Structure 1
């Protein structure tokens, strides 16, 4: 750890704040490497984020979530942490973080950061000590196991990034577990000292003023202590969030993740968060069995994490029926929990390509944002969604993602959704950096840059900005219950109800205009959303790729 740990106003006294702010808030995800470079080295940094906070605040979002910026050898671009309590020099300093946090709070933005605690880098001091011998103080901080008699790994568990989930270590003459890269050894959460250590790291950032955490791979913390083999994936079952070309998708992951002990640890984490009024958490659940049940168990109100998302709406599937089925299924099974929804993030193909490839992006992109932010839950918007950015086609020779390099060409990895944010269409590298960016900026992204769309009537940016700022005044769309209504074709229709007010939300996912019958009460069309749907004489009239918002009664 370097730098001085400081308490900010937000960490000292949050009691006067709305501790329920996260429920229905819009979270804007920033991938720091690709947001804004302030020093010309081709890599985004914290100072660059600070420069762009006014832009983010203008969108009408409530919080930012930063992907990892901690000290790291960057084998997995920050998701391999070597020091939980410092900033990697690539991104700046702790002082830069403090400056960014202070400005974000001054603009009314909450600050959430990634907490990556299922594993560390093999360069972390904890792992270096653990691997040094079998009897040192941290010998049991990672998952070590002897080889089988013939020298093979302890069981059949696989790494998401390819090959066995076990790596031989010639110092201890044992295998260690890694669910991702071999340079990302898994921590042993069965050891209470490990739990204490990661909770201490979380407290460090809470004291520094963060308003919450996005919990990376939140269901991966514990493994089966008996190291039992995983069975094959049952016939007809499909893993979400894992490419079908990956052998990881062949197994039913009963024993290497989503263990019951995780629930007890999440209660410890929640107790820590509760010490900081208003601090929140959103978990990433990568489960291949009972995703809804897992989400419900992890988000029991007031007991474990505040909310969680899965990969259900991050798949290539796209239809009105699929969206309704997914959301209704979650609503039916989540109990007292609260969901989080996203259509894009740093791990999946951008929704503009995944769902909107054959459609007019100027119409589809703002519609997609309006849809995901109108569902019951807390939506996450990924940088560039507000511009209608599509997936970039990064050639093999420029790929950086080890996941994509491993499974290329059928699976090209995650670089296509991680290319730099385009700010200025007339500037070198679209204004992202004065130097050569770590990933190329596609020409079609430059054409959709912020300055090309800013204040341009009908642009994706202006329509998203209009909608999200309008939504901030509609408490029913933030906190209300949801009820789906039967509708024809590629339409999604539901109501949100809160404190004796009901708002109808209707979305037309097709290019063609549609008319739907409405007999459930008088409608008053809400103005200001930026969408052109209308209601008249018992009909909902929706232009192609458009929406309608109306008060019922």
Structure 2
């Protein structure tokens, strides 16, 4: 089982602890069940915080645990200021906070501000009739003369972004499920109410907020149609799988509106009243995402950092990573970005990047080595440190409405949300003592359990620990500059530097060994013990094994 607790580093005592931080995402439903109902809970997270601290990360990000009918697994909030009984109580959350801080871990919580559940009291009042105090708190619009929706906007989860309400005899907007109506951010009262929600959690001691769909807050007041996506436009990116018509539109009017910048300034002004707190925004904006990140994090008066879907694609090549990270460095001059290869919305990268099952572990090792070398903060998703592959689930197992809607062309997000595997045996791999879990525990995951990897010094789990420790030990990696070098097409080479420290990272992304000629203008002073490195230098060439990497002081 997990090794003795190791407290996170002293970096978390700095006001800008988030800059270069390593954040561990916890999906509470699937982390640890303590009451036998087959669903993870806050007490379970608290129970496992020692394990998380042993990884050496700086913070945890908790996916939603608020009161919710769970139509979208908690991203449909019915009460922003309480814990759903499924996960526990506010007292359980306070205990989690206390233990996390004792271990030196910061706590970031999800905030789903763009929309609520249709069972939120705000919406129930808003839909009652057209003349009530909250009548304009959501995006309502009259139908066209023929009764159809006000415009052509589409939902990310399929179909129109408009739902007819027979009581008001109007349509309301929903970017996701019909049971997730969008709040009207053009209404100052809505903004004020949401800022009160944020302050409720600030007063409770949280260290930061992950802002769900942060560029979806505002819509075009005129409700203009979105144009079609054409070849000369920005690519649709990864906002939706290609089986979803959502990607056929250029989303100029239903999100990423200029008014959002003013609201983010208001949010930042509130956050700044509580020193040492941070914000990280989720930006889904296709090929425009990095431009949006630059706008949302620039100037020091909006968000602290954002993440995009750029590295969450199936493309695991040197060219792709260099293009994404290089573009970010060029566009985001005074802002900050958070990189990740996996999260709760995408296929696990051990499966997404691997060309065959037998190379998953090598891909996972190389992935964390690359991620740890990048400029920015980094986010890890629970179970990736074990090399968990995407779970293969039957249609009857699915709980994700997105996957159910587009099955079988798209299997949804449940394959990356299955329970954490703590033991190789026992009931449900140590996740739950109950009869059944909310999603099944895949048999192949049990062979990758924490229990089995903990005592193996060469395991992927311990590779993650060493790599995170390596990153934290080098200021050039945490805060330094980044310059890419052009070596071979399937080699990712970059220099990180800060002050007198200058580090050269070289990663062989080929599925076979190769010799890489080192740049003549760089003198290798020392080969550092980058975890997993098996490279050696011979006559100006670096010999690397397949999917291998090396770090040198130059």
* Length-normalised TM-score, structure 1: 0.95
Q: 1:318 to 1:17 in 2, by over 3 A?
A: closer
1:182 matched to 2:184: no
Counterpart check, 1:127 vs 2:123: yes
Are the equivalent residues in 1 in contact too, given 2:100–2:106 (CA < 8 A)? yes
Deviations 1:71-128 (A, max 9, x none): 0000000000000000000000111111111111111111001010000000001111
- Among 154, 158, 166, the alignment partner of 1:158 is 154
1:456 aligns with 2:470: no
- In the alignment, the residues of structure 2 paired with residue 123 and residue 301 of structure 1 have an alpha-carbon distance, to the nearest angstrom, of 38
Instruction: Quote the Cα distance in structure 1 between the aligned partners of 2:105 and 2:370.
Output: 22
Contact 2:372 2:467 in 1 (8 A): no
User: Corresponding residue for 1:428?
Assistant: 427
Distance across 2 between alignment mates of 1:209 and 1:137? 32
Larger mean CA deviation between 462-471 and 406-415 belongs to 462-471
CA RMSD of aligned residues (A): 1.4
1:295-344 Cα distance to aligned partner (Å, 9 max, x none): 10001141110111111111112211111111111111112111111100
Task: Give the match's secondary structure for 1:507.
Answer: strand
Give how far 1:238 is off. 3.2
Distance in 2 (CA, whole Å) between partners of 1:386 and 1:110 is: 19
How far has the Cα of 1:528 moved from its partner?
5.9
1:43 correspondence with 2:42 = no
Q: Select the residue among 252, 257, 264 that pairs with 1:266.
A: 264
Structure 1 match to 2:405: 406
Question: Which residue is equivalent to 2:242?
Answer: 244
Q: How far apart, CA to CA, are the structure 1 residues paired with 2:109 and 2:135? A: 29
CA distance in 1, matches of 2:340, 2:46: 24
Structure 1 pair 120–302 and aligned structure 2 pair: CA distance change class (3 A)? same
- Shift, 1:500, TM fit: 2.6
Q: Distance in 2 between matches of 1:412 and 1:60?
A: 33
Asked if residue 294 in structure 1 is aligned to residue 296 in structure 2, the reply is: no
Cα distance in 2, alignment partners of residues 96 and 322 from structure 1: 43
Choose 280-289 or 119-128, whichever is displaced more: 280-289
Task: Judge conservation of contact 2:236–2:287 (CA < 8 Å) in 1.
Answer: no
Aligned counterpart, 1:52: 48
Query: In the alignment, which residue of structure 2 is the partner of 1:63?
Result: 59
Q: Conserved in 1, the CA contact under 8 Å of 2:403 and 2:412?
A: yes
Deviations 1:239-283 (CA, angstroms, capped at 9, x unpaired) = 323111111111111000000000000001111111111111111
2:325 equivalent to 1:327: yes
Contact 1:241/1:314 (8 A) holds in 2: no
> Residue 200 of structure 2 aligns to a residue in which SS?
helix
User: For 1:355-434, what aligned pairs fall within 5 Å after superposition?
Assistant: 355-358=353-356, 360-434=359-433
For structure 2, which runs of at least 5 residues remain unmatched after alignment?
A: 1-11
Q: Secondary structure at the match of 1:360?
A: helix
Q: Quick one: distance in 2 between partners of 1:485 and 1:499?
A: 20
Alpha-carbon distance, 1:137 to partner = 0.7
- Partners of 2:219 and 2:506 lie apart in 1 by 43
Match of 2:205 among 203, 209, 215: 209
2:546 is matched with: 544
1:225 match = 221
In the alignment, the residues of structure 2 paired with residue 187 and residue 528 of structure 1 have an alpha-carbon distance, to the nearest angstrom, of: 48
SS at match of 1:23: coil
Equivalent position of 1:479 in the other structure:
479
Aligned to 2:52, the other structure's residue is in SS state: helix
Shift of 1:543: 1.8
| Residue aligned with 1:183, SS | coil
Aligned to 2:8: none
The SS at the match of 1:245 is coil
Partner of 1:513: 513
In the TM superposition, what whole-angstrom CA distance separates every residue of 1:493-535 from its partner, at most 9, and x where no partner exists? 1011112311111111223222212221233112263432333
Structure 1, gaps ≥5 residues long: 1-15
**Which one is further off, 232-241 or 170-179?**
232-241
Three-state SS of the structure 2 residue aligned to 1:300 is helix
Aligned to 1:191: 187
Residue of structure 2 equivalent to 1:13: none
Give how far 1:459 is off: 1.1
Identify the range of structure 1 (94-103 vs 512-521) with the bigger mean alpha-carbon deviation. 512-521
Matched residue SS, 1:176: strand
Q: Distance in 2 between matches of 1:241 and 1:141?
A: 26
- 2: distance between equivalents of 1:522 and 1:398? 53
Quick one: distance in 1 between partners of 2:413 and 2:114?
A: 20
Q: Is 1:143 paired with 2:139? A: yes
Say if 2:24 and 2:381, in contact at 8 Å, map to a contact too. yes
- How many corresponding residue pairs? 538
Pick which of 318-327 and 354-363 moved more. 354-363
Cα-to-partner distance string for 1:421-473 (whole Å, 9 max, x where unaligned) = 10001112111111111001111111101001112132111111121123221
- Cα distance in 2 between the residues matched to 1:155 and 1:289: 24
Partners of 2:530 and 2:408 in 1: CA distance: 45
- Name the counterpart of 2:500: 500
SS at match of 1:373: helix
Deviations 1:147-188 (A, max 9, x none): 111111111101111111001111111110000000000000
Whole-Å Cα distance in 2 between the matches of residues 413 and 187 of structure 1?
Answer: 25
Whether 1:81 aligns to 2:77 is yes
Indicate yes or no: 2:83 matched with 1:91. no
1:354 equivalent to 2:352? Answer: yes
